[in-house]
Amino acid sequence: MDIAVRHKARILQASTSEVYGDPHKHPQPETYWGNVNPHGIRACYDEGKCCAETLFFDYHRRYGIAIKVARIFNTYGPRMDLDDGRVVSNFIVQALEEQPITIYGDGRQTRSFCFVSDLVDGLIALMESEPQITGPINLGNPHEVTMRQLARRVLTLTGSSSRLEYKPLPQDDPVRRQPDITLARTLLGWRPRIKLDAGLRATIAYFREQLEDNRVARRRTIPFGEPTAPFPPRPAPVAEDLRAAGVR
Protein backbone atom coordinates (compact mmCIF):
# COMPACT_ATOMS: atom_id res chain seq x y z
CA MET A 1 0.00 0.00 0.00
CA ASP A 2 2.93 2.34 0.60
CA ILE A 3 4.02 1.68 -2.99
CA ALA A 4 0.49 2.52 -4.18
CA VAL A 5 0.66 5.78 -2.23
CA ARG A 6 4.04 6.72 -3.74
CA HIS A 7 3.01 5.92 -7.30
CA LYS A 8 -0.66 6.96 -7.03
CA ALA A 9 -1.64 3.50 -8.23
CA ARG A 10 -4.88 1.59 -7.94
CA ILE A 11 -4.56 -1.39 -5.64
CA LEU A 12 -6.70 -4.52 -5.37
CA GLN A 13 -7.34 -6.54 -2.26
CA ALA A 14 -8.39 -10.14 -2.89
CA SER A 15 -10.58 -10.45 0.18
CA THR A 16 -12.86 -13.38 0.84
CA SER A 17 -16.36 -14.54 1.66
CA GLU A 18 -14.84 -15.93 4.86
CA VAL A 19 -15.25 -12.47 6.40
CA TYR A 20 -18.93 -13.45 6.74
CA GLY A 21 -18.03 -16.45 8.91
CA ASP A 22 -20.93 -18.84 9.54
CA PRO A 23 -23.58 -16.36 8.36
CA HIS A 24 -26.95 -15.71 9.95
CA LYS A 25 -28.02 -13.74 6.85
CA HIS A 26 -28.58 -15.50 3.55
CA PRO A 27 -27.52 -14.75 0.88
CA GLN A 28 -24.72 -12.54 2.11
CA PRO A 29 -24.71 -8.86 1.03
CA GLU A 30 -21.70 -6.61 1.50
CA THR A 31 -23.52 -4.75 4.28
CA TYR A 32 -23.60 -7.87 6.47
CA TRP A 33 -20.90 -7.69 9.17
CA GLY A 34 -20.63 -11.44 9.53
CA ASN A 35 -20.56 -14.05 12.28
CA VAL A 36 -16.92 -14.97 12.92
CA ASN A 37 -15.46 -16.77 15.92
CA PRO A 38 -12.39 -14.58 16.63
CA HIS A 39 -10.67 -17.34 18.60
CA GLY A 40 -11.54 -20.37 16.44
CA ILE A 41 -9.32 -22.47 14.23
CA ARG A 42 -10.40 -20.48 11.13
CA ALA A 43 -9.97 -17.08 12.78
CA CYS A 44 -6.42 -16.40 11.56
CA TYR A 45 -7.72 -16.40 7.97
CA ASP A 46 -11.18 -14.88 8.54
CA GLU A 47 -10.02 -12.08 10.83
CA GLY A 48 -6.80 -11.59 8.86
CA LYS A 49 -8.84 -10.71 5.78
CA CYS A 50 -11.04 -8.37 7.86
CA CYS A 51 -7.90 -6.64 9.15
CA ALA A 52 -6.60 -6.26 5.60
CA GLU A 53 -9.86 -4.64 4.52
CA THR A 54 -9.58 -2.22 7.45
CA LEU A 55 -6.04 -1.24 6.44
CA PHE A 56 -7.12 -0.68 2.85
CA PHE A 57 -9.91 1.68 3.89
CA ASP A 58 -7.66 3.48 6.40
CA TYR A 59 -5.11 4.13 3.65
CA HIS A 60 -7.90 5.26 1.34
CA ARG A 61 -9.21 7.76 3.90
CA ARG A 62 -5.77 8.97 5.00
CA TYR A 63 -3.89 9.10 1.69
CA GLY A 64 -6.65 9.05 -0.93
CA ILE A 65 -5.32 5.99 -2.79
CA ALA A 66 -7.66 4.24 -5.21
CA ILE A 67 -8.60 0.94 -3.55
CA LYS A 68 -10.65 -1.95 -4.92
CA VAL A 69 -11.80 -4.60 -2.42
CA ALA A 70 -13.22 -7.83 -3.85
CA ARG A 71 -14.82 -10.42 -1.59
CA ILE A 72 -14.15 -13.61 -3.53
CA PHE A 73 -16.40 -16.63 -3.03
CA ASN A 74 -15.45 -20.24 -3.84
CA THR A 75 -13.60 -20.33 -7.16
CA TYR A 76 -12.45 -23.34 -9.19
CA GLY A 77 -11.11 -24.32 -12.59
CA PRO A 78 -8.06 -25.62 -14.48
CA ARG A 79 -4.62 -25.01 -12.94
CA MET A 80 -5.81 -25.77 -9.42
CA ASP A 81 -3.29 -27.86 -7.53
CA LEU A 82 -4.12 -31.55 -7.27
CA ASP A 83 -3.72 -31.55 -3.49
CA ASP A 84 -4.67 -28.01 -2.51
CA GLY A 85 -7.33 -29.32 -0.14
CA ARG A 86 -10.28 -27.47 -1.68
CA VAL A 87 -13.52 -29.31 -2.05
CA VAL A 88 -13.70 -29.27 -5.87
CA SER A 89 -10.15 -30.56 -6.34
CA ASN A 90 -10.59 -33.09 -3.51
CA PHE A 91 -13.77 -34.53 -5.01
CA ILE A 92 -12.40 -34.69 -8.57
CA VAL A 93 -9.08 -36.30 -7.64
CA GLN A 94 -10.77 -38.82 -5.34
CA ALA A 95 -13.28 -39.70 -8.06
CA LEU A 96 -10.64 -40.10 -10.78
CA GLU A 97 -8.51 -42.25 -8.47
CA GLU A 98 -11.57 -44.33 -7.46
CA GLN A 99 -11.05 -43.36 -3.83
CA PRO A 100 -13.88 -42.62 -1.37
CA ILE A 101 -15.32 -39.11 -1.74
CA THR A 102 -14.76 -37.38 1.60
CA ILE A 103 -17.73 -35.30 2.77
CA TYR A 104 -17.50 -33.46 6.07
CA GLY A 105 -20.73 -33.30 8.06
CA ASP A 106 -23.96 -34.65 6.59
CA GLY A 107 -23.34 -33.09 3.18
CA ARG A 108 -26.24 -30.65 3.42
CA GLN A 109 -24.01 -27.60 3.92
CA THR A 110 -23.89 -25.39 0.82
CA ARG A 111 -21.37 -23.49 -1.25
CA SER A 112 -21.54 -21.43 -4.45
CA PHE A 113 -18.84 -22.10 -7.06
CA CYS A 114 -17.56 -19.56 -9.57
CA PHE A 115 -15.50 -20.65 -12.59
CA VAL A 116 -12.09 -18.97 -12.71
CA SER A 117 -12.60 -17.13 -16.01
CA ASP A 118 -15.77 -15.50 -14.64
CA LEU A 119 -13.89 -14.38 -11.54
CA VAL A 120 -11.06 -12.88 -13.62
CA ASP A 121 -13.63 -10.94 -15.65
CA GLY A 122 -15.13 -9.63 -12.42
CA LEU A 123 -11.77 -8.54 -11.03
CA ILE A 124 -10.92 -6.73 -14.26
CA ALA A 125 -14.29 -4.98 -14.25
CA LEU A 126 -13.73 -3.89 -10.65
CA MET A 127 -10.22 -2.57 -11.36
CA GLU A 128 -11.50 -0.63 -14.38
CA SER A 129 -14.48 0.85 -12.51
CA GLU A 130 -14.82 4.50 -11.47
CA PRO A 131 -12.60 5.68 -8.57
CA GLN A 132 -15.56 6.11 -6.23
CA ILE A 133 -16.30 2.37 -6.49
CA THR A 134 -14.05 1.03 -3.77
CA GLY A 135 -15.93 -2.06 -2.67
CA PRO A 136 -16.17 -4.29 -0.89
CA ILE A 137 -17.96 -6.07 -3.72
CA ASN A 138 -18.94 -9.74 -3.71
CA LEU A 139 -17.62 -11.74 -6.67
CA GLY A 140 -19.01 -15.24 -6.94
CA ASN A 141 -21.66 -17.40 -8.52
CA PRO A 142 -24.99 -17.28 -6.65
CA HIS A 143 -25.93 -20.79 -7.79
CA GLU A 144 -25.97 -22.69 -4.49
CA VAL A 145 -25.38 -26.44 -4.17
CA THR A 146 -24.99 -28.84 -1.27
CA MET A 147 -21.79 -30.80 -0.85
CA ARG A 148 -23.73 -33.98 -1.47
CA GLN A 149 -25.06 -32.59 -4.77
CA LEU A 150 -21.57 -31.53 -5.80
CA ALA A 151 -20.15 -34.96 -5.03
CA ARG A 152 -22.84 -36.66 -7.12
CA ARG A 153 -22.25 -34.33 -10.06
CA VAL A 154 -18.51 -35.10 -9.94
CA LEU A 155 -19.23 -38.84 -9.82
CA THR A 156 -21.55 -38.56 -12.81
CA LEU A 157 -19.18 -36.43 -14.89
CA THR A 158 -16.12 -38.58 -14.15
CA GLY A 159 -17.94 -41.91 -14.48
CA SER A 160 -16.44 -42.91 -11.14
CA SER A 161 -17.76 -45.64 -8.88
CA SER A 162 -16.30 -44.07 -5.72
CA ARG A 163 -18.47 -44.25 -2.62
CA LEU A 164 -19.33 -41.31 -0.35
CA GLU A 165 -17.54 -41.27 3.00
CA TYR A 166 -18.79 -38.98 5.77
CA LYS A 167 -16.54 -37.44 8.42
CA PRO A 168 -17.17 -34.99 11.29
CA LEU A 169 -17.71 -31.35 10.32
CA PRO A 170 -14.71 -29.17 11.32
CA GLN A 171 -15.15 -26.43 13.92
CA ASP A 172 -16.80 -23.22 12.67
CA ASP A 173 -17.26 -24.59 9.15
CA PRO A 174 -19.98 -22.43 7.51
CA VAL A 175 -23.31 -24.16 7.00
CA ARG A 176 -24.37 -21.98 4.06
CA ARG A 177 -22.55 -19.74 1.63
CA GLN A 178 -24.12 -17.77 -1.22
CA PRO A 179 -23.16 -14.32 -2.52
CA ASP A 180 -25.59 -11.50 -3.09
CA ILE A 181 -24.08 -10.04 -6.29
CA THR A 182 -26.49 -7.14 -6.72
CA LEU A 183 -23.68 -4.59 -6.40
CA ALA A 184 -21.50 -6.39 -8.95
CA ARG A 185 -24.38 -6.50 -11.42
CA THR A 186 -25.42 -2.87 -10.99
CA LEU A 187 -22.03 -1.17 -10.54
CA LEU A 188 -19.79 -3.37 -12.70
CA GLY A 189 -22.26 -4.87 -15.18
CA TRP A 190 -20.84 -8.27 -14.20
CA ARG A 191 -22.40 -11.64 -13.65
CA PRO A 192 -20.99 -15.18 -13.91
CA ARG A 193 -21.72 -17.00 -17.17
CA ILE A 194 -20.19 -20.48 -16.85
CA LYS A 195 -22.61 -23.14 -15.58
CA LEU A 196 -21.39 -25.56 -12.93
CA ASP A 197 -21.44 -28.66 -15.16
CA ALA A 198 -19.47 -26.93 -17.93
CA GLY A 199 -16.88 -25.67 -15.47
CA LEU A 200 -16.58 -29.07 -13.83
CA ARG A 201 -16.04 -30.76 -17.20
CA ALA A 202 -13.15 -28.43 -18.02
CA THR A 203 -11.64 -28.89 -14.56
CA ILE A 204 -12.01 -32.68 -14.67
CA ALA A 205 -10.32 -32.81 -18.08
CA TYR A 206 -7.38 -30.82 -16.73
CA PHE A 207 -7.04 -32.97 -13.59
CA ARG A 208 -7.31 -36.17 -15.62
CA GLU A 209 -4.34 -35.08 -17.75
CA GLN A 210 -2.35 -34.02 -14.69
CA LEU A 211 -2.88 -37.39 -12.99
CA GLU A 212 -1.89 -39.24 -16.16
CA ASP A 213 1.27 -37.12 -16.47
CA ASN A 214 2.14 -37.93 -12.87
CA ARG A 215 1.67 -41.66 -13.50
CA VAL A 216 3.90 -41.50 -16.60
CA ALA A 217 6.54 -39.55 -14.69
CA ARG A 218 6.59 -42.19 -11.93
CA ARG A 219 7.08 -44.93 -14.52
CA ARG A 220 9.97 -43.16 -16.25
CA THR A 221 13.31 -44.01 -14.65
CA ILE A 222 17.00 -43.60 -15.47
CA PRO A 223 19.70 -46.27 -14.89
CA PHE A 224 20.06 -47.64 -11.35
CA GLY A 225 16.39 -46.97 -10.70
CA GLU A 226 16.70 -43.28 -9.83
CA PRO A 227 13.44 -41.50 -10.77
CA THR A 228 13.50 -38.64 -13.20
CA ALA A 229 12.14 -35.20 -12.43
CA PRO A 230 8.37 -34.92 -12.95
CA PHE A 231 7.03 -33.32 -16.07
CA PRO A 232 6.19 -29.61 -15.75
CA PRO A 233 2.49 -28.73 -15.38
CA ARG A 234 0.47 -28.49 -18.55
CA PRO A 235 -0.46 -24.98 -19.63
CA ALA A 236 -3.95 -23.74 -18.86
CA PRO A 237 -6.52 -24.80 -21.47
CA VAL A 238 -6.91 -22.29 -24.28
CA ALA A 239 -10.28 -21.08 -25.44
CA GLU A 240 -10.65 -23.97 -27.89
CA ASP A 241 -10.09 -26.51 -25.11
CA LEU A 242 -12.73 -24.87 -22.95
CA ARG A 243 -15.22 -24.79 -25.79
CA ALA A 244 -14.56 -28.48 -26.47
CA ALA A 245 -15.33 -29.18 -22.80
CA GLY A 246 -18.66 -27.39 -23.12
CA VAL A 247 -17.59 -24.05 -21.58
CA ARG A 248 -19.10 -21.06 -23.32
Cβ atoms of residues 61 and 49 within 8 Å:
no
The amino acid at residue 76 is: Y
Cβ atoms of residues 188 and 137 within 8 Å:
yes
DSSP-H helix ranges across 26-176: 43-63, 87-96, 116-127, 147-158
Length of the chain equals 248
The amino acid at residue 170 is: P
**Which residues participate in catalysis according to the annotation?**
45
Nearest to 194 by CA among 126, 118, 139: 118
The amino acid at residue 8 is: K
